[in-house]
Amino acid sequence: MENLIIMGSGPAGLSAALYASRSALEPIVIAGDQRGGQITLTQDMENYPGFPEGVGGFELAELMEKQAVRFGARISSDAVTEVDLSKQPFAVRTREKNYETKAVIIATGASPRTLDVPGEKEYTGKGVSYCATCDGFFYQDKSVVVVGGGDSAVDEGLFLTKFASKVTIVHRRNRLRADPILQERAKNNEKMAYIWDSVVSQVLGDDSGVKGVRLKNVKTDSESTYDSDGVFIYIGHIPNTTLFKDQLEMDEEGFLITDKRQKTSVEGVFAAGDVQDPVYKQAVTSAGTGAIAAIEAEKFIAELEGKAYPGK
């Protein structure tokens, strides 16, 4: 019997693991397929407090893991496949093992949203990408399109200018949603270009990979084609909550519903990070909610065992 299973190993899961291990819960973190979470796909994090010069996303994840392990957290390179949260103890099935646990923290994060247009699936890995950090290197002196107008599109677009000769942002509005500081950097970068009020309606290519995109102007409905060697898609994320369908309350977009103490609709099940956050989605807010979830999980387990500190 485990005290606490933490699902996910991004900033929310690892921060929860740090706090829970310091409460002597000996939590186990089921890391999932992307150990370290989404930050490992970010080259440089400039807004995580404590790193005035910035820190690599992968490096930050490694540091967080090391800190949690120092206090007794166990990290398993495994993935959860099924859960039963209908009764105590909760059952958690992974690819390798069956667990029983008193409490659960869900920090399974979110995955990139797809455009769902013809050619997207077909050319994924052959010119369509959701990760500039992973694939940018392959676009030396090439021309690429970035879809989206948020922080990710602009930040990753700027990163791509290190390699590509031209980076064209295609956005469905006539201005960006991204932070002013990123917009200013993009404005001052001569490799960046923009196509406004437009969506990608098809990814075009041949046996050698992506050759361009078909664009639709959302104001005039006119269509055109635009040559490109790659398409990077940054149109937001969808929460990874399929495992919890019909077991936990979610909003219409699939985000888990939590209260201020990170409690979900089932007592003893807490959630933290992007899986329950449709608004902020920052590494630092994820780490914060991970800490809250762990503090509350510790209280829940103490109560369950009749060891709660009076009034706490």
Rounded to a whole number of angstroms, the minimum distance from the CB of residue 257 to ligand NAP is: 19
Rounded to a whole number of angstroms, the minimum distance from the CB of residue 198 to ligand NAP is: 9
> Among residues 72, 89, 150, 278, which is the contact residue for ligand NAP, using CB under 6 A?
150
Q: What is the DSSP string of 208-257?
A: TEEEEEEEEETTT--EEEEE-SEEEE-S-EEE--GGGTTTS-B-TTSPBP
The span of 19-27, 76-84, 152-160, 296-304 binding ligand NAP (CB under 6 A) equals: 152-160
Pull the structure tokens for residue 164. Answer: 């590509």
d(CA 114, CA 181): 26
d(CA 45, CA 24): 31
Encode burial over 229-241: b for 16+ CB neighbours within 10 A, e otherwise.
bbbbbbbebebbb
Our CA dihedral for 195, 201, 206, 209, rounded to 10 degrees, sits at 60
Rounded to a whole number of angstroms, the minimum distance from the CB of residue 156 to ligand NAP is: 8
The span of 27-35, 48-56, 218-226, 234-242 binding ligand NAP (CB under 6 A) equals: 234-242
Measuring CA to CA, which residue among 226, 232, 234, 233 is closest to residue 205? 226
Is residue 234 close enough to count as binding ligand NAP by CB under 6 A? yes
Is residue 120 close enough to count as binding ligand NAP by CB under 6 A? no
Binding mask 46-75 for ligand NAP (x = CB under 6 A): -x----------------------------
Q: Are 101 and 20 in contact (CB under 8 A)?
A: no
Is residue 19 close enough to count as binding ligand NAP by CB under 6 A? no
Q: Phi and psi for 64 in degrees, rounded to 5? A: -65, -40
What is the widest separation between alpha-carbon atoms in the chain?
A: 68
Decide: residue 124, CB within 10 A, 0-12 exposed, 13-18 middle, 19+ buried. middle
Q: For tokens 């029983």, name the residue.
A: 100
- Catalytic hit among 44, 78, 131, 197: 131
Per the annotation, the verdict on 151 as an active-site residue is no
Per the annotation, the verdict on 33 as an active-site residue is no
Rounded to a whole number of angstroms, the minimum distance from the CB of residue 264 to ligand NAP is: 22
Per the annotation, the verdict on 131 as an active-site residue is yes
Is residue 289 close enough to count as binding ligand NAP by CB under 6 A? no
> Among residues 235, 250, 291, 292, which is the contact residue for ligand NAP, using CB under 6 A?
235
Is residue 177 close enough to count as binding ligand NAP by CB under 6 A? yes
Is residue 199 close enough to count as binding ligand NAP by CB under 6 A? yes
- Catalytic hit among 134, 227, 251, 259: 134
Pull the structure tokens for residue 263. Answer: 């409690």
CB nearer to ligand NAP: pick between 78 and 179: 179
Rounded to a whole number of angstroms, the minimum distance from the CB of residue 67 to ligand NAP is: 23
- Catalytic hit among 135, 151, 229, 277: 135
CB nearer to ligand NAP: pick between 201 and 247: 201
CB nearer to ligand NAP: pick between 68 and 192: 192
The span of 27-35, 53-61, 141-149, 247-255 binding ligand NAP (CB under 6 A) equals: 141-149
d(CA 230, CA 204): 10
Q: Are 240 and 275 in contact (CB under 8 A)?
A: yes
Residues in contact with ligand NAP by CB under 6 A are 47, 115, 147-153, 155, 172-173, 177, 179, 199, 234-237, 281
| Residues known to be catalytic | 131, 134-135
